[in-house]
Amino acid sequence: MNTEIGRRQMLKGLATIAAAATATGATTARAQTAPSATLPAGNPGWHGFRMGDIDALVLSDGPLAQGDPTKVLQGQPEDVIRETLRNNHLDDQNMTLDQNVLLIRSGDRLALFDTGTGGAPAFGDDPGKLMSNLAQLGIDGASVTDVVLTHAHPDHVWGLSSEDGTANFPNAQVHLHEAEHGFFTDPQNDSHPLLGPFMPTCRTELEAVADRITIFRDGDEVLPGVHAIAAFGHTPGHSCFRLTSGDKSLLLAGDLAHHHVLFTRYPGIKFGFDTDPDQMVQSRTKLFEMLEAERMAFLAYHFPFPGVGHLDRFGDGYQWVAAGLDNTF
């Protein structure tokens, strides 16, 4: 905010100087003195909103490339997947997912939901922006009191530490579902047929915070006004969270759905990295029905930034209606 005020004051100052120069007849050749219009690179890094007594901020960890969507999705014919993407003005050969990390201040707690990829080279240069976005806002990772994990996949837990192994949130309690903790800390799963290449690092990340882990179960109140809701199947303990303040509520949906068009239009679609795809479809079906029936806003980790919106019935499935930068839900 201070930076913005400073910038505005500077621009005002420049305008005053320019007006004075013109008034005194001090003309210069515009072509020689006009500043070059250099625009900053990049995309919005955060979006703030308020829900009841909760101050919330969605922080981007940057986009996550998935490659050919027909290689990572099952349950719909290849031509249907590609045609649906084209009809929605999206690339039918490369699927890209956003990464929306929620930060809330509620009472004396500063809680982060998931941590991004941590800038791991395995995911290229685009993701891993969470810590730089926090730094630009002047938020120190040491001030985060709680990290709440929807699940322990790399794009959600590798940001627990920096690349040199330093804890990014050294004072935070790390909240994780009991089944998720059991699965991802078991060395026998290091060679898991589906997740093997990622498992040892996931386990290392969790072991590094072992003395700060708090286990929760389905229905537990993880933080005041934050209740865990089972959404198992993507991983053994994948969980969503219902955030409530006064008469307002929001579902933090994690990876309940990966793509804002394909997973809403076809709720029975399956993601290639689901540990139990059929169970995940059941979880999605149940929670989509709840979101539609309650007309409840939800925040999806991988939907277009900032990832907040609603579900409406559409044909045999749903359509996602983005809230955009609206914060009145």
> What residues make contact with Zn ion under the rule CB under 5 A?
155, 255
Residue pair 48/57 in contact by the 8 Å Cβ criterion = yes
Query: Regarding beta strands 109-113 and 146-148, do their DSSP bridges make them parallel or antiparallel, or are they unpaired?
Result: parallel
Q: How far is the CB of 150 from Zn ion (least distance, A)?
A: 8
Q: Cβ of residue 301: shortest distance to Zn ion, in angstroms?
A: 6
In the complex, least distance from residue 156 CB atom to Zn ion, rounded to whole angstroms: 6
CB of 115 to Zn ion, least distance (A): 11
What DSSP assignment string belongs to 229-290?
EE-TTSSTT-EEEEEEETTEEEEEEETS-S-TTHHHH-TT-EETT-SSHHHHHHHHHHHHHH
- Half-sphere CA count of 27, side-chain side, radius 13 A: 3
What is the maximum span of the chain, computed from C-alpha positions, in angstroms? 80
Of 225 and 254, nearer to Zn ion (C-beta) is 254
Q: Is 117 helix (H, G, I), strand (E, B) or coil?
A: coil
Contact indicator for 240, 251 with CB cutoff of 8 Å: yes
Q: How far is the CB of 123 from Zn ion (least distance, A)?
A: 11
Give the residue with the Cβ less far from Zn ion, 92 or 255.
255
Q: Which of 101, 103, 107 is nearest to 53 (CA)?
A: 107
Q: Which lies closer to Zn ion via its Cβ, residue 181 or residue 259?
A: 259
Quote the CA–CA distance of 214 and 206 in Å, as a whole number. Answer: 11
At its nearest, how many Å lie between Zn ion and the CB of residue 155? 4
- Closer residue to Zn ion in complex, CB, 155/274: 155
Our CB check for Zn ion shows the closer of 106 and 168 to be: 168
Cα angle at 208 between 202 and 209, to 5 degrees?
100
Show the tokens assigned to 140.
């120190």
Coil, helix or strand at residue 182? helix
Least separation in angstroms between residue 99's CB and Zn ion is 7
Closer residue to Zn ion in complex, CB, 45/159: 159
In the numeric block, which tokens belong to residue 112?
């982060």
Cβ proximity to Zn ion: between 171 and 279 the closer is 279
